[in-house]
Chains A and B, each alone.
Chain A
């Protein structure tokens, strides 16, 4: 049940990425190119997603618990630490170089562009390294 639910949720998320144009790195890079070939589409994607999630989350949280899990698992931290600056700073540099963030990179995987086939394994290496390093420092 959970497997099918997660498959469906990933599919819905991915269809959203493809329809919105975000599976195309060129569109993302043009959003980031404020002083060149600026394409504001990404702001509309985030705007649409945030508005739906803002109201939808509050409807979900009105229930005592999720439908398929014992409790809601929402991050509670509010402190701003160095990791919260370093991590996103590095992520943004990689995003600006390749035009991929993790979701679009996975939706691009099956289309087999040579750059994607380099990017996704490299991304998984980076993720694994961060998890190992976090393990040692926590």
Chain B
């Protein structure tokens, strides 16, 4: 089980939204992580490499900032099944770039823009996510992690 954290999740979500708004206001771009990370790889079409890398470094640094301010380490439970995580990684990476966005680009920014494409994409990845967890945990009755 994990604890239901409505207040912390709402505050954290608002900070994610604020980052997306500031990205639009300052850079005029969508804060979509799969787009930012995917364009760190070739082919390169614009001069945005440095900015994208800086954004990703900011993401990587975030848990250390939170831990330093709160004094508590960031707790997480990650599966150590290497084959599972390799398959999951390839699917997430390929699927998010192939579909033009992930939870941030489609799920947050796209929904906020009322983009029909993002409503469809978000519905599809939520559906296959629910189905996958259902199959893993209830059909095969395997608790991968954290259940």
Contacts and interface: CB of A to CB of B under 8 A. Distances in A.
A129 B94 contact: yes
A103 B20 CA distance: 13
A55 to B, nearest CB: 8
Interface string B68-91: 000000111111111011111111
Interface in B81-134: 81-82, 84-100, 102-104, 106-113, 115-117, 120-122, 124-134
B57 A10 contact: yes
B11 to A, nearest CB: 6
Given A8-B58, A25-B78, A48-B11, A124 B63 contact: no
Interface in B1-55: 1-6, 8-31, 33-34, 37-43, 50-52, 54-55
Given A14-B59, A92-B95, A94-B88, A41 B41 contact: no
A92 B6 CA distance: 23
Given A36-B138, A87-B95, A16 B12 contact: yes
A57 to B, nearest CB: 6
A103 B95 CA distance: 14
Contacts of B134: 33-35
Residue from B33, B77, B102 whose CB has the most chain A CB atoms within 10 Å: B33
Interface string A101-138: 11101111111011110111111111111110111000
Interface string A45-75: 1111111111011011101011111111111
Contacts of A126: 89-95, 97
Contact of B11 (A19, A35, A53): A19
Given A23-B76, A75-B115, A11 B58 contact: yes
A41 B5 contact: yes
20 contacts: A3-B50, A14-B62, A20-B16, A21-B12, A39-B3, A44-B5, A56-B20, A67-B26, A86-B98, A88-B120, A94-B88, A94-B92, A96-B129, A97-B84, A97-B87, A106-B33, A123-B37, A124-B93, A126-B91, A126-B94
Given A87-B94, A90-B98, A92-B124, 19 more contacts: A2-B54, A11-B62, A13-B19, A13-B62, A14-B61, A18-B74, A25-B145, A48-B10, A50-B108, A53-B108, A56-B25, A72-B28, A88-B122, A89-B125, A97-B84, A100-B89, A121-B89, A125-B89, A126-B93
Interface of B: 1-6, 8-31, 33-34, 37-43, 50-52, 54-66, 74-82, 84-100, 102-104, 106-113, 115-117, 120-122, 124-134, 136-138, 144-147
